[in-house]
Amino acid sequence: MSHLPWRPLASMAVATIAACAPGARAPAPVMSAGTVVRAPAHAIIPAPVSVQLTADSFVVDSGAAIYIDQTASPEVERIARYLAAMLSPFAQPEPRRAAASESPPHGSFRLSIGGGAPEGAESYALTITPDLVALGAREPAGLFRGVQTIRQLLPAGVENRAAVRRRLAMPAGRITDAPRFQWRGAMLDVSRHFLSPEDVKRYIDHMALYKLNRLHLHLADDQGWRIEIRSWPNLARHGGRTEVGGGPGGYYTQAEFADLVAYAESRYIAIVPEIDMPGHTNAALSSYPELNCDDVAPSPYTGIRVGFSALCVQRDTVYEFVSDVVREIGALVPTPWFHIGGDEVERLTDEQYRAFVERVQEIVRSHGKRMIGWGEIVPAALVPETIVQHWKRDSSHVHAARGGSVILSPSPRAYLDMKYDSTTVLGLNWAGYISVRHAYDWDPAAQIAGVPERAILGVEGPLWSETLETIQDFEYMAFPRLAAVAELGWSRQGDRRWDDFAERLGAHGPRMAAMGINFYRSPEIRWER
């Protein structure tokens, strides 16, 4: 694994490519017929482990075929089709099968599973010559990540299906890559303001470009319950009908949720469901009087205060409720994680709170899941498999010391709902202003004393939605900071430098624009046009 080579070699490639394309650093895509359109030499985010580019290039000619092995699995074939769709109308939509020993004709792509790639499910090796683009990985997940690298080596026009009269070129060279952390997440708060399944899919597609692999959905809070629970139907029917500001809210049927899970899975993103408890539960309390100690269901809540609600933790009914919810949601996700929230409870004694967390941990385990909770859960007797999500000062080092792992979402760095600066209209600022640089410029391994690299599962950028109504609002806060989170999660600390990231990010402006992302044009970045 090399930490250095990509930078000097990348700038060398910039120099050589500059000689044959307009614009010194990063030539703008030109959309006229017959023009070879070049991507910036290397603006890959997150930065790969090793990039060596040459002055040669590979041109995607119409009719380019994508080859897979004779014995390739249906999943490899699906990824080949995904690549074909990305290259459309240039590539042939149907992948071709060929023996590994056969060399595909000039101008082809080849996707293969094999030993040549670095170890790890998401790792890949990419070799580009003027003749062939060869992508190899140990597992299909690695091929999918590698396809995103191919995508980023192509000009931004590849994102825009309407621009058909173009040829696509990419620099030749070799890239080998593997993630630093296994958890590279984003969180959407669909409770404070509901997002339609289509909007969530849009976000998933944007996450895929940056090799993120976990989408944490905050599915229940005071202001809204967002998933159908068949054994407690009033949760969605009543609890789903509100949101901050009094809008219509909404919820996902189980079929819609299963469809979201499958959609995310096809991009190698796991959906991590969160039902916040015992606090942040007004929507549930309002739906079922028996969850309240006084048997009185409170009114729906559409404000943005926190801390005032709590389940009646001394009642067995509450644990039946929790078990039903975990069982039904758990059955909809193939992955092991179930997030119980656990934050900001002001209505219970410490002892009541800890006992609740311990009992719920047992329920989650009894359904075959691994519990995740916000930092507040640490004082409970947690098993090492339980995962703690750090967001503010907590005792996550205690969890690390008992062999547990931690997801880092420190609010002053990773909270995507914080304003960029004092002029940002959307968002909050209780954890400070978070410029793109501030979101990028920190080392997860140095963040918390007593939580070393080996105890860190990864990083996650939560996007709370008290002030965000439309998907465009969500995107404005998430982009480009989510790209910084992605690089923090994927790239080695020694391979990350703000100046360099800022330059690569500048080249993502046209790409994000072509994707239709409503991103914040931060003045810290020299955006390419």
Residues in touch with ligand TNX (CB under 6 A): 306, 343-344, 374, 391, 415, 417, 428, 464, 466
Query: Which 3 state secondary structure label does DSSP give 223?
Result: coil
* For ligand TNX, the closer CB: 417 or 495: 417
Min dist. Cβ of residue 464 to ligand TNX (A): 3
Min dist. Cβ of residue 443 to ligand TNX (A): 22
Nearest alpha carbon to residue 285 among 256, 259, 316, 308:
308
- Cite the beta strand spans of 392-516 per DSSP E: 405-408, 456-463
Min dist. Cβ of residue 218 to ligand TNX (A): 8
Alpha-carbon distances of 207 from 268, 361, 430, 443, rounded to whole Å: 10, 30, 26, 21
Residues 69, 75, 81, 83, CA torsion sign: negative
Q: What span, in angstroms and rounded, lies between the C-alpha atoms of 91 and 85?
A: 8
Q: Which residues are catalytic?
A: 344
Q: What span, in angstroms and rounded, lies between the C-alpha atoms of 251 and 191?
A: 9
- Main-chain phi, psi angles of 418, to 5 degrees: -80, 145
> 98 with 104: CB under 8 angstroms?
yes
Min dist. Cβ of residue 312 to ligand TNX (A): 21
Taking the CA atoms of residue 110, residue 113, residue 114 and residue 119 in that order, the dihedral angle to the nearest 10 degrees is 120
Q: What span, in angstroms and rounded, lies between the C-alpha atoms of 32 and 160?
A: 14
Min dist. Cβ of residue 389 to ligand TNX (A): 8
By DSSP bridging, strand 370-374 and strand 337-341 are parallel
Nearest alpha carbon to residue 382 among 352, 409, 366, 403:
403
* For ligand TNX, the closer CB: 122 or 417: 417
* For ligand TNX, the closer CB: 332 or 485: 485
* For ligand TNX, the closer CB: 243 or 343: 343
Min dist. Cβ of residue 373 to ligand TNX (A): 9
Min dist. Cβ of residue 391 to ligand TNX (A): 5
Q: What span, in angstroms and rounded, lies between the C-alpha atoms of 439 and 11?
A: 25
* For ligand TNX, the closer CB: 77 or 460: 460
Taking the alpha carbons at both ends of the chain, their separation in whole angstroms is 34
**Which runs of consecutive H residues, i.e. helices, occur in 88-167?**
140-153
Q: What span, in angstroms and rounded, lies between the C-alpha atoms of 151 and 138?
A: 20
> 72 with 113: CB under 8 angstroms?
yes
Give 227's DSSP letter: B
* For ligand TNX, the closer CB: 30 or 431: 431
